[in-house]
């Protein structure tokens, strides 16, 4: 087993990432709690690379980081890299987004997940982005998931993220799409 330090203090995110890596020799562990990396990048990918590189250098281990969020077409890409800081909690973030979007008919949006992997020296060896297109609902639908899931609707399956089973969400989510791109590259690194 090779340790892959996840640039997060969130055990839920670690568990979700581990589910994508089942059957690989990578063993995920949380970053040290005292170690925080400031997200100063202008894009999701820049922030993921910053976090992976810094965590790898400090721990001397392989590191993986993701940065993700929601970009709404009619709001010029907002909330974008500020998705998690758009308001104080999930409910308030949804309320703010729905208020700012108002009655606009253009409700197109995309969830973006950027993933970066750094070697123990802090060099980025993998960087990929998964993008899931959808629409913003006018009201919440479903009780699963977290964040903006109750208002992000995927027309192809006629469900919001919050209405999907975990398996379905893996298939259609931005994080699932990003891991589809990352996994073959991680397999190539297994011998390193």
Report how far residue 171's alpha carbon sits from residue 175's, in angstroms, rounded to the nearest whole number. Answer: 9
Which is the catalytic residue, given 66, 67, 73, 90?
67
Query: Is 76 one of the catalytic residues?
Result: no
3-state secondary structure the chain: CEEEEECCCCHHHHHHHHHHCCCCCEEEEECCCCCCCCCCCCCHHHHHHHHHHHHHHHHCCEEEEEEEEEEEHHHCCCEHHHHHHCCCCHHHHHHHHHHHHCCCCCCEEEEEEEEEEECCCCCEEEEEEEEEEEEECCCCCCCCCCCCHHHEEECCCCEEHHHCCHHHHHHHCHHHHHHHHHHHHHHHHCCC
Token pair recorded at residue 68: 């993700």
- Residues with a known catalytic role: 67
């Amino acid at each position: 087993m090779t340790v892959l330090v996840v640039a997060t203090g969130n055990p839920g995110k670690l568990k979700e990432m581990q589910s994508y890596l089942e059957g690989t020799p990578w063993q995920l562990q949380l970053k040290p709690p005292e170690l925080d990396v400031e997200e100063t990048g202008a894009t999701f990918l820049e922030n993921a690379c910053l976090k992976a590189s810094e965590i790898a250098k400090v721990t001397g281990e392989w590191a993986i980081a993701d940065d993700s969020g929601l970009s709404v077409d009619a709001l010029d890409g907002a909330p974008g890299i500020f998705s998690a800081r758009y308001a104080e909690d999930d409910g308030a973030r949804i309320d703010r987004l729905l208020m700012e979007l108002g009655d606009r008919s253009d409700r197109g949006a995309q969830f973006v997940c950027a993933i970066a992997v750094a070697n123990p020296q802090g060099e980025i060896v993998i960087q990929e982005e998964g993008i899931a297109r959808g629409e913003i609902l006018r009201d919440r639908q479903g009780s699963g998931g977290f964040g903006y899931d109750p208002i992000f609707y995927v027309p192809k399956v006629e469900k919001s993220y919050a209405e999907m089973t975990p398996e379905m969400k893996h298939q259609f989510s931005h994080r699932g799409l990003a891991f589809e791109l990352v996994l073959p590259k991680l397999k190539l690194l297994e011998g390193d």
